[in-house]
Structure 1
Amino acid sequence: MPEFLVRIAVTRPASFDDDRWREVLAAEADVATGYREAGLITRIWRLPGTTANVGVWQAADATELHEHLSRLPAFPYMDVQVEALALHYLESSGPG
C-alpha cells in the first residue's frame, strides 16, 4: 500500500475556550488512535517545542488519504503537508 509523509501543525482558534479545545483534542485522540490501530498511521513523531507532528501514513491513494485526514476532528485547525513516498532501492531487492 502506498505510503505518505504527513506533516501536521495544529493551531487552536482564538475563539475556543479551554473546555472546547480539550473536547476537540479528546475527539482527535480517539480518531487518531483508531487510525493507528487500523494501520493507517504506521509511524508518528511529535516535533519538540511545537504543536506539530510528522508521520508515515498508508492509504490506497491520495484521495483516500485526504478522506482520512478530513475526518480528523481538528482538521479545520490544521496546516497539513503531504508528500508521496517512493520505495528506495536500499529497501528493495537491489539497485534499479
Structure 2
Amino acid sequence: MREFLVEITTTIPDGTSQDEIDRRRAAEAVRARELAATGNLARLWRPVGELRSIGIWRADDEGELHEKVLGTLPLRPWMTLTVTTLGPHPNDPGRNDDTR
C-alpha cells in the first residue's frame, strides 16, 4: 500500500439541519474506525485552533484512495481535499529495511 498525506476541510452547507449534521458526524466516526481497522487510515490530526484535519491514509493507488476510501466517508460531499502521495526518504528515522 502507498501512503498519502490528506488535508481535509469540511464545510457544512448553509441550511443543513443540526439532525443531519449530527447523523453524518456520528456515521463519520464509525467509518473512520472501520478504515483504521483495515489499515487505510493510519493517523489523523487536527491543527490546534483549526477546523480541518490532516492525516496519513493508505491505499494501493490514488484512484482507490478517492473511490474506495475517502469516497466512503459520510461527510465527503462537504469536504475539500488536498492529497499528496508520499514516498520513502533515505533519512527517515523511522525507516526500516522493508522500505528500501
TM-score, normalised relative to structure 2: 0.86
| Displacement of 1:50 | 2.1
Structural mapping, 1:43-54, within 5 Å: 43-54=43-54
SS of the residue corresponding to residue 87 of structure 1 reads: coil
Structure 1 SS opposite 2:12: coil
Write the deviation string for residues 15-66 of structure 1: whole angstroms up to 9, x where unpaired. Answer: 2121110001111111111001111111110122222110001100011101
Equivalent residue pairs, number = 94
Separation in structure 2 between the aligned mates of residue 24 and residue 92 of structure 1, nearest angstrom:
39
Q: Do the aligned partners of 1:11 and 1:51 also contact (CA within 8 Å) in 2?
A: no
Structure 1 vs Structure 2 CA RMSD: 1.5
Are positions 1:25 and 2:25 aligned together?
A: yes
1:83 aligns with 2:84: yes
Letter in 2 for 1:88: H
Counting only pairs closer than 5 Å after superposition, residues 1-96 of structure 1 correspond to structure 2 as 1-67=1-67, 68-90=69-91, 91=95
Give SS of 1:54's match: strand
Percent sequence identity over matched residues?
Answer: 38
Shift of 1:3: 0.4
CA drift at 1:92: 5.6
What are the ranges of 5 or more consecutive residues in structure 1 without an aligned counterpart?
A: none
- 1:56-86 per-position Cα deviation (integer Å, ceiling 9, x unaligned): 0110001110111111111010011100001
